[in-house]
């Protein structure tokens, strides 16, 4: 009798995991577990933020100095390429536009994509030793990028008001484009995080892709700049919306700097890209996450 009880007590449980080709996990229990583990992702994000610039003199002030210096460098570069001759007001407007786009792109979007892409590979020990929804890893990096982005908003509004630019009421609509950009960035982070598990070279190619995407987006130039060129060439304007960031970053900058409400095509393009990227990224990630521990 005692031997039987001991055998029952020490009999290990058998867990059966379906291979990824059998489909996605049950979504309702998965997302319930994801929500319950939200504090875990929050703590991972806080630890990552505290670790940045920990050994430097200025510490977390670099979260503000980095994008500010970057904006100054790109402003000088654009002015050198375009040449002199612009009025002071035109230069101020371009600098404010550059800050609006560069802060949200470099700190938030690029941070989501770069850090999110390496979240699974970099969290190898967590995957091997803990049981949790793996989707927490790229989502934690999205939260990290968002927290790092918040101080740059203060810097941007100081620059905007400091140069005497008006603060338009349309600024209250700008969070809608930021939300769509965040959804798109989260989707891209999930996709690249999954791809990097199988192809480690993604981490080497990604910085170049992020830099090219910067030049193709309305950050160093105004959203209206290429429209006349396209019209002269007989190319339809919808070609611009093939770049998801054209409508998202362009709409963000138009609302903050110009006080213009983007036309309907921008809203449709931005919302479509954001939903497609988020859903595709989440499904792709979840369908492959059971292989991650084996591939690392």
Model pTM?
0.84
pLDDT tier at 259 (50, 70, 90 boundaries)? Answer: confident
For position 280, what pLDDT does the model report? 95
Distance from C-alpha of 155 to C-alpha of 99, rounded to nearest angstrom: 9
212 within 8 A of 243, measured Cβ to Cβ: no
CA nearest neighbour of 104 among 268, 251, 263: 251
Q: What is the mean pLDDT of residues 90-99?
A: 84
Could you say which DSSP state residue 26 is in?
A: P
206 within 8 A of 192, measured Cβ to Cβ: yes
- Around Cβ 123, how many Cβ atoms within 10 Å? 21
pLDDT tier at 122 (50, 70, 90 boundaries)? Answer: confident
Q: Where are the domains of the chain?
A: 63-295
Q: Which residue has the higher pLDDT, 232 or 248?
A: 248
For position 6, what pLDDT does the model report? 43
287 within 8 A of 193, measured Cβ to Cβ: no
For position 196, what pLDDT does the model report? 92
pLDDT tier at 139 (50, 70, 90 boundaries)? Answer: very high
pLDDT beyond 60 at 136: yes
3-state secondary structure 154-175: HHHHHHHHHCCCCCCHHHHHHH
pLDDT beyond 60 at 4: no
Q: What is the mean pLDDT of residues 172-182?
A: 95
Long-range contacts, stretch 31-36, CB < 8 angstroms, 24+ apart? 33/132, 33/133, 34/133, 34/135, 34/136
Residue with tokens 């050994």: 55
Q: What is the mean pLDDT of residues 51-64?
A: 73
pLDDT beyond 80 at 56: no
Least confident of 63-67, 214-218, 233-237: 233-237
- Around Cβ 168, how many Cβ atoms within 10 Å? 17
- CA-CA distances (angstroms) from residue 64 to 198, 244, 252? 35, 26, 20
DSSP per-residue letters across 206-273: HHHHHHHHHHHSTTSS-TTHHHHHHHHHT--GGGGGGSHHHHHHHHHHIIIII-PPPPHHHHHHHHHH
CA nearest neighbour of 41 among 148, 134, 118, 150: 134
> In the structure encoding, which two tokens stand for residue 214, read together?
């910067």
Distance from C-alpha of 18 to C-alpha of 96, rounded to nearest angstrom: 53
């Amino acid at each position: 009798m005692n031997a039987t009880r001991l055998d029952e007590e020490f009999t290990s449980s058998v867990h059966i995991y379906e291979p990824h080709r059998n489909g996605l996990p049950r979504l309702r229990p998965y997302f319930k577990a994801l929500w319950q583990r939200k504090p875990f992702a929050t703590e991972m994000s806080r630890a990552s933020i505290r670790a940045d610039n920990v050994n430097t003199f200025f510490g977390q002030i670099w979260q503000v100095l980095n994008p500010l210096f970057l904006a100054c460098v790109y402003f000088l570069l654009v002015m050198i390429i375009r040449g002199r001759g612009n009025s002071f007001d035109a230069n101020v407007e371009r600098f404010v536009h550059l800050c609006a786009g560069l802060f949200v792109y470099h700190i938030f979007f690029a941070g989501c994509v770069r850090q999110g892409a390496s979240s699974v590979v970099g969290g190898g020990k967590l995957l091997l030793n803990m049981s949790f929804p793996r989707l927490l890893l790229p989502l934690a990096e999205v939260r990290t990028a968002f927290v790092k982005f918040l101080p740059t908003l203060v810097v941007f509004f100081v620059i905007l008001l400091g140069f005497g630019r008006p603060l338009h009421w349309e600024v209250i609509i700008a969070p809608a484009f930021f939300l769509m950009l965040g959804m798109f960035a989260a989707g891209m982070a999930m996709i690249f995080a999954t791809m990097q598990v199988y192809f480690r070279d993604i981490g080497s190619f990604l910085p170049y892709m992020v830099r090219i995407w910067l030049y193709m987006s309305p950050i160093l130039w105004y959203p209206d700049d290429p429209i006349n060129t396209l019209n002269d060439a007989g190319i339809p304007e919808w070609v611009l919306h093939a770049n998801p960031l054209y409508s998202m970053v362009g709409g963000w900058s138009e609302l903050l700097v110009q006080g213009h409400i983007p036309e309907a095509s921008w809203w449709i393009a931005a919302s479509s890209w954001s939903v497609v990227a988020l859903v595709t990224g989440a499904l792709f990630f979840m369908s492959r996450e059971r292989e991650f521990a084996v591939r690392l």
